[in-house]
Amino acid sequence: MSEPEASVLDIYPAETAPAANSSMRQWLSVFSVAVGAFAFVTTEYLPVGVLPQIAQELSITDGTAGLMVTVPGVVAAISAPAIMIGAGTINRRHLLLGLALLLVLSNLISATASGLLPMLLGRGLLGVSLGGFWAVAIAAAGRLVAPDKAAKATAIIFAGITFATVLGVPFGTFISTLFSWRASFLATALLALVALLAQFLTLPSLESSEGLRVKALLSYVGRGTAQRSILLMGLVIAAHFTAYTYIAPFLLQEAGFGSGTITLVLLGFGLLGMLGNFVVATTVNRHLPFSLGSMVVLMVIALLSLPWLAGSSMAVIVAILSWGLAYGAIPLSLSTWMQHTSPRLPEASSAMLVMTFQTAIASGSLFGGLVVDHGGMAATLWSSAVLGVLGLLVMLSFGLGNARLLEKLRG
């Protein structure tokens, strides 16, 4: 007997999605949200590619500069459930447009920052908009198209993350080499304006008859399977960002790469990540544990090997590309996992997904900054690998059978 495949209708209730076949305008609205995802993630990850330049100009250490990733993560973790609860029945179209406008302002403040505090103010504003955007966008994905196309719509929106890794971060790094890191933030401000305009022109009205309630959120996090799933996501994402936040200093100082080579390596990281995202999209429903577990194992192997390979440029590139392939598949796999934990509470599960994801980014980058400043880059990479292994152990506690896993997550 074959294992039952999760129905998208179990994740996105039919009453919240359009009943008719998806039109061109509906798909354009999906792509406009994906453009927004691209703009948000590009802004969030931008300091990763230009961290050494910002640290030098602001006269701070690489570890302290990592706060540019930590602060928006902390703020986003708080704002995701807070905005969803506070928004009540506000039309989700208006909410998405307002959050996109905040993103533009965040980039402008960062681009003109004269010191660490103004920079962190701009990054904190990013956190407010980022947390709200992901909580709203993930829950709304299934409402933009017909119910049987909801999974595809979600994958397209998540592809915005991958494209940001492919093009956004390397492009920001490239602009900084031509002009300055401030020009990179101005470019992301322009990108955010494009996303705002696209959403204004294509997003339909997204009325909400009932906002997220504290009771529903507490009910969700009170379930044992939800708690373990949150721990799983937190460990895996923290494992990535403990090391990824400081990948540019590693490539510059340990591997001896120039700024141009770093841009190309980050581009390759993203390209392989895009491949990983689309490959796992074909397997994640039928083989969720394998899809997630195999990618985490590959990431751990790459992290463990990098300190030993620093003397060989080609070996470093292969390890980085393998890491990129693995991580590209992880967000979609974890999102699918979290969606199954509460199929009838999409806003509660999406709020907790964003809260957990952003907390993991913040804690990972903060932990990595402490380790890199006091123990060096090798210790940071190995610490990341340990977190990844702990995540695998949590995943194994659910078992490896897809049908049994889905039953546990729903029950």
- Contact between residue 188 and residue 46 where contact means Cβ atoms under 8 Å apart: yes
* Beta carbons within 10 angstroms of residue 166's beta carbon: 25
Which residues have C-beta within 8 Å of that of residue 122, sequence separation ≥ 6?
A: 106, 107, 108, 109, 110, 113
What pLDDT shows up at residue 234?
A: 92
Q: Report residue 2's pLDDT band, with 50, 70 and 90 as the boundaries.
A: very low
**Residue 319 resides in a domain:** yes
- H/E stretch holding 235 reads helix 224-244
State residue 219's pLDDT score.
67
- pLDDT of 15 > 60? The answer is no
Domain presence at residue 5 = no
Distance CA 334, CA 284 (A): 10
pLDDT-derived band at 86 (thresholds 50, 70, 90) equals: confident
Contact partners, residue 53, CB within 8 Å, separation at least 6: 176, 180, 181
In percent, how much of the chain has pLDDT > 90?
20
Establish if 213 belongs to a structural domain.
yes
Residues 6+ apart with CB under 8 A from 76: 126, 127, 128, 130, 131, 134, 354, 355, 358, 361
Question: Looking at the domain assignment, is residue 9 inside a domain?
Answer: no
* 213: containing domain: 21-410
Q: Report the share of the chain in percent with pLDDT over 70.
A: 82
| CA separation for the pair 158, 223 (Å, rounded) | 26
Cα(59)–Cα(5) distance, rounded to whole angstroms?
54
Residue 74 located in a structural domain = yes
| pLDDT for residue 404 | 66
| Cβ atoms of residues 302 and 320 within 8 Å | yes
* DSSP string for residues in 8-21: HHHHS-GGGS-SSP
Number of other CB atoms surrounding residue 89 within 10 Å = 10
pLDDT band per the 50, 70, 90 thresholds, residue 93: confident
**CATH number for the domain including 27?**
1.20.1250.20
The reply to whether 13 falls in a domain is: no
* Span 264-286, average pLDDT: 82
Tokens of 277: 């995202």
pLDDT at 379 over 50: yes
Tell me the pLDDT tens digit for each residue of 23-48: 777 788 888 888 888 888 888 878 87
pLDDT at 16: 45
8 A C-beta contact, residue 13 and residue 140: no
Arithmetic mean of pLDDT over the chain:
80
Query: Has residue 16 been placed in a domain?
Result: no
| 93 vs 196: CA distance, rounded Å | 11
Instruction: Note the pLDDT of residue 406.
Output: 65
| Range of weakest confidence among 75-84, 129-138, 165-174 | 165-174
166: in domain: yes
Domain count, the chain: 1
Residue 209: per-residue pLDDT: 59
Average pLDDT over residues 254-269: 84
Whether pLDDT at 20 is above 60: no
**pLDDT for the residue 242:** 92
